[in-house]
């Protein structure tokens, strides 16, 4: 039987439980029979893959490859995924570079099938990283089956830090946040932005995101999330607002009371 992560409660109280038990739960999840079978199959077969066509033709390998980047929903979109892989990322016209979601670019780069790129399927260290990322994503998916807000919070802990530490300009980082659905969801919820917000002009969205974050933290940059305390604050605000939304109210006074009370829970 596969190990199902335990989520106790919602909001900040539930998050504190996941933080305390993460290592033990993640370790137990990694020993699940199904995950071990997927891992072993990938290890034994990925080195023989020499083209994008080879990879998309093996559903078991492709499932792990996509899963490592949170793209498993595209498992049946074989033509689209093959195009992403075959184009690579070196040319501005490559399909991955024309998509807002940066995960496609990272996925393509990991295997090196594009023009001028070095094939990486035989790189043991690189493929081990893919496997580790796949396990992390699968754990987060399993947590999300119980509470989707916890899945997004877990995803944020590594993806937002990675983004904050990149060398891109801050506006470019914001556009990457806006194009990565889990991160966009976190910021929209944490900053109290309405559902229709995504329908306005993209440059106006950028301005509103930055102004809203500055009101909360005093800083409108994504680079601030290199600091663990800043990451914790935005995560806590997201979880508090999510919980208030679930119980049917999100007034400022109610939010402040819940946030202050639950922030003390460790």
Residue 251 has pLDDT above 80, yes or no: no
Residue 257 has pLDDT above 60, yes or no: no
The Cα 112–Cα 190 span in angstroms is 37
- Identify whether 53 is part of a domain: yes
Rg (alpha carbons) of the chain, rounded to whole number: 20
Q: Are 96 and 173 within one domain? A: no
| Mean pLDDT, range 129-138, rounded to an integer | 96
**Read out DSSP for 91-159?**
STTSGGGGSS-THHHHHHHHHT-STTPPP-TT-HHHHHHHHHHHHHHHHHHHHHTT-HHHHHHHHHHHH
- Identify whether 21 is part of a domain: no
Show the domain range for 231. Answer: 169-263
Mean per-residue pLDDT of the chain: 90
Q: Number of structural domains, the chain?
A: 2
Please tell me which residue, 37 or 168, carries the higher pLDDT value: 37
pLDDT tens-place string over residues 45-73: 999 999 999 999 999 999 999 999 999 99
- Identify whether 215 is part of a domain: yes
| Mean pLDDT, range 182-208, rounded to an integer | 90
Q: Are 67 and 128 within one domain? A: yes
- Identify whether 154 is part of a domain: no
The torsion region of residue 117 among left (phi > 0), alpha (psi -120 to 50) and beta comes to beta
Q: Are 188 and 119 within one domain? A: no
DSSP letter at 2 equals P
- Identify whether 119 is part of a domain: yes
Helices (H) and strands (E) counted in the chain, each on its own, are: 13, 0
pLDDT tens-place string over residues 140-162: 999 999 999 999 999 999 999 99
Q: Are 106 and 198 within one domain? A: no
Q: Are 49 and 110 within one domain? A: yes
- 262 in Cβ contact with 15 (< 8 Å): no
**Helix 252-263, helix 11-30: angle, nearest 10:** 50
State the burial class of residue 217 (Cβ atoms within 10 Å of its Cβ: 0-12, 13-18, 19+). Answer: middle
Task: Enter the pTM of the model.
Answer: 0.83
Task: State the CATH number of the domain containing residue 58.
Answer: 1.10.3700.10
Q: Are 132 and 174 within one domain? A: no
Q: How far is CA 76 from the centre of its chain?
A: 20
- Identify whether 23 is part of a domain: no
């Amino acid at each position: 039987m596969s190990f199902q992560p335990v989520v106790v409660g919602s909001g900040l109280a539930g998050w504190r439980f996941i933080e305390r038990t993460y290592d033990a739960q993640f370790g137990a999840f990694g020993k699940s029979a199904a995950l071990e079978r997927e891992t072993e199959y990938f290890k034994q077969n990925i080195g023989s893959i020499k083209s994008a066509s080879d990879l998309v033709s093996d559903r078991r390998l492709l499932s792990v490859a996509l899963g490592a980047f949170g793209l498993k929903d595209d498992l049946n979109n074989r033509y689209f995924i093959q195009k992403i892989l075959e184009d690579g990322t070196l040319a501005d016209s490559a399909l991955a570079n024309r998509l807002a979601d940066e995960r496609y670019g990272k996925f393509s780069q990991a295997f090196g099938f594009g023009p001028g790129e070095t094939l990486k399927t035989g790189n043991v260290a690189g493929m081990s990283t893919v496997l580790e990322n796949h396990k992390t994503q699968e754990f987060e998916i399993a947590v999300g089956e119980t509470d989707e807000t916890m899945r997004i919070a877990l995803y944020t802990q590594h993806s937002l830090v990675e983004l904050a530490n990149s060398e891109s300009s801050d506006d470019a980082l914001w556009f990457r946040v806006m194009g990565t659905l889990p991160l966009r969801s976190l910021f929209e919820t944490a900053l109290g932005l309405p559902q229709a917000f995504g329908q306005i002009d993209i440059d106006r969205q950028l301005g509103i995101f930055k102004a809203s974050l500055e009101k909360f933290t005093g800083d409108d940059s994504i680079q601030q999330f290199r600091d663990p305390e800043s990451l914790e604050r935005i995560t806590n605000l997201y979880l508090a607002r999510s919980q208030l939304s679930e119980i049917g109210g999100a007034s400022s006074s109610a939010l402040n009371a819940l946030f202050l009370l639950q922030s003390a829970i460790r």
